[in-house]
Amino acid sequence: MKEPVSLVDARPRLASLEARAVSAWFGDRKVLDRVSLLMPAGKVTALIGPSGCGKSTFLRILNRMHELVPSASLAGEVLVDEVDIYDAGLRITDARRQIGMVFQKPNPFPAMSIQDNVTAGLVLTGIKAGKAERADLVEECLTKAGLWNEVKDRLRQPGGGLSGGQQQRLCIARSLAVRPRILLMDEPCSALDPTSTRRIEQTIQELAADVTIVIVTHNMQQAARVSDQCAFFLAEAGTPGVIVEHGPTDLMFEAPQDQRTMDYVNGVFG
């Protein structure tokens, strides 16, 4: 019998993520064409590009959410330290534990307490923890998400009572509780005020020492501030999305190789 593939026991803790020749469809409509990208361990990779070029679809492919859409299909490989997350021998729950997701709109469980929101993922992924372990985990994850000092005296109050920026950081803490090696973030600041946005950006920069981060953003200043590398997606004239170019963030903004990248990062279109 074939041994099940495992990501859980993979070492080192920090993981690289790589897409190889990824194409995607919704029904007969092709939305991504042979996208390849290495997202290095312990770095922040920003996916930039105009709306409709496949960035969010690509992000969802990276933790097997794309396949939840009934008409969706894909080709190619997504590797975490050379293990394909779409391997038939890999349980989807293992992939989700390794690759967390923070969505565009904060989505805490509104009636659930702040502390129970943080530990909700343990139940969903089958991780067992005692009362003391849970308490330590709540403090650790809220601290990493930059929220502990603001909520430590009201952990039993509903998560839905927090501000929008606090709710987003609570969702980050919830994602961190299952010890992911990679964290995907789909425009996590798009609905937030500038002060909350800056706090989330600080959190992203602080987390990069412990987790590999991939973020979709339409905010070029944000991409420049928080990321180590950028990948510029584009879909032209009804064609599927592709990566025009990718590289270190400073070079992508100061000396891109493609004129279309130069035009986009300077606000000529998009």
- The whole domain housing 106 covers 17-257
* Residue at 199 is within a domain: yes
Give the CATH number of the domain where residue 194 resides.
3.40.50.300
**DSSP letter string, 194-216:** HHHHHHHHHHHHHHTTTSEEEEE
Asked if residue 11 is part of any domain, the answer here is no
* pLDDT attached to residue 91: 83
Residue 4 lies in a domain: no
- 149 vs 93, 166, 248, 257, CA distance in Å? 32, 11, 34, 44
Domain assignment present for residue 12? The answer is no
Which parts of the chain are beta strand (E)? 17-26, 29-39, 44-48, 72-80, 83-84, 99-102, 182-186, 212-216, 229-234, 242-248
**Within-domain flag for 91:** yes
Whether residue 119 is contained in a domain is answered as yes
pLDDT digits (tens, 9 = 90+) for 91-105: 887 888 899 999 988
Q: Is 173 helix (H, G, I), strand (E, B) or coil?
A: helix
- 47-96 pLDDT, tens digit each: 999 999 999 999 999 999 998 899 999 999 999 988 999 998 888 878 88
pLDDT at 10 over 50: no
Number of domains in the chain: 1
Q: How many helices (H) and strands (E) does the chain have?
A: 10, 10
- Domain-embedded: residue 6: no
Give per-residue pLDDT as tens, 152-204: 999 999 999 999 999 999 999 999 998 899 999 999 998 888 999 999 999 99
92 located within any domain = yes
